[in-house]
C-alpha cells in the first residue's frame, strides 16, 4: 500500500494546482463559505487589471503621438498623393467644366495640367498641417488608456477567462504537470524515509 504513495501524492499535487488555476477565475461572484468570502482573483481584480492594462498600453505600447507620427510621415502622405491627383483630375475635367462652362473655353489641357500640379503640390504641403489640426482635436476624445480600461472592465468574466486561457493555456497545463511531478517526487521521498 505504501508504494501507492507517489501516485496519490502526484494526484494531490496535480489537483491542488488545478484548483489554484480554477480559482484564478472562479467563483465569478463573491461566495461566502463559513464566514470567508471567496471570489476568483481575476473577477475580483478586474477593475485594477483593466486600469493597469490601460496604462501599460497607452504608455508603453501605443501612444497617440506614435499614431500621429506614423500618419504624418512623408512616406505615408506620398501614398495618398495618387488618390488626390486622381480626384483633382476628375474634378478639373468634369465637375469644373459643369460648374463653370465658360472657364473650359479659356483653359486648354496644358493649363489644366498646370492647375492640377499646383493644386496637388499645395495639398501635399497642406497635409501635415491638416493632419496635425485634425489629430489635435481628436486627441482629447481619443484617450487610449480610457478606451482600453473601459473595454477590459466591460468584458464578461467568461470572456476574460477565454482570453487568458487562449494566451496562457500551455503555462496553466505546465503548472498542473509540475504539481503532479513534485507530488510524485515527494511520495518517493516519503517511501525512502519510511524504509530507512
Could you tell me the residue range of the domain that residue 57 belongs to? 2-195
The string of pLDDT tens digits covering residues 16-49 is 999 998 888 888 888 888 888 888 888 888 888 8
Give the Cα separation of 89 and 72 in Å (integer): 24
Q: Is the pLDDT at 6 greater than 80, yes or no?
A: yes
DSSP element (H, E) containing 13: helix 5-22
Cα 94 versus chain centre, distance: 45
The total domain count for the chain is 1
> Which pLDDT score, from 0 to 100, does residue 179 have?
92
**Which whole number is the average pLDDT over 84-89?**
82
The string of pLDDT tens digits covering residues 49-77 is 888 888 888 777 777 777 777 777 778 77
Coil, strand, or helix at residue 52? helix
Give the Cα separation of 159 and 25 in Å (integer): 11
> Which pLDDT score, from 0 to 100, does residue 104 have?
67
Confidence band, pLDDT 50/70/90 cuts, at residue 182? very high
> Which pLDDT score, from 0 to 100, does residue 16 have?
93
Give the Cα separation of 92 and 69 in Å (integer): 32
Amino acid at each position: 500500500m505504501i508504494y501507492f504513495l507517489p501516485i496519490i501524492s502526484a494526484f494531490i499535487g496535480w489537483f491542488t494546482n488545478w484548483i489554484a488555476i480554477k480559482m484564478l477565475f472562479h467563483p465569478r461572484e463573491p461566495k461566502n463559505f463559513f464566514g470567508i468570502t471567496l471570489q476568483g482573483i481575476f473577477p475580483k481584480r478586474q477593475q485594477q487589471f483593466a486600469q493597469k492594462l490601460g496604462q501599460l498600453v497607452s504608455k508603453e505600447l501605443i501612444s497617440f503621438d506614435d499614431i500621429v507620427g506614423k500618419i504624418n510621415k512623408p512616406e505615408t502622405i506620398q501614398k495618398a498623393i495618387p488618390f488626390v491627383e486622381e480626384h483633382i483630375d476628375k474634378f478639373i475635367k468634369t465637375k469644373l467644366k459643369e460648374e463653370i462652362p465658360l472657364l473650359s473655353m479659356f483653359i486648354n489641357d496644358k493649363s489644366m495640367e498646370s492647375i492640377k500640379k499646383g493644386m496637388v503640390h499645395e495639398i501635399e504641403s497642406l497635409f501635415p498641417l491638416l493632419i496635425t489640426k485634425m489629430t489635435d482635436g481628436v486627441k482629447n476624445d481619443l484617450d487610449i488608456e480610457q478606451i482600453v480600461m473601459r473595454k477590459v472592465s466591460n468584458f464578461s468574466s467568461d470572456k476574460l477567462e477565454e482570453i487568458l486561457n487562449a494566451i496562457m493555456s500551455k503555462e496553466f497545463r505546465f503548472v498542473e504537470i509540475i504539481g503532479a511531478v513534485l507530488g510524485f517526487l515527494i511520495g518517493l521521498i516519503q517511501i525512502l524515509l519510511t524504509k530507512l
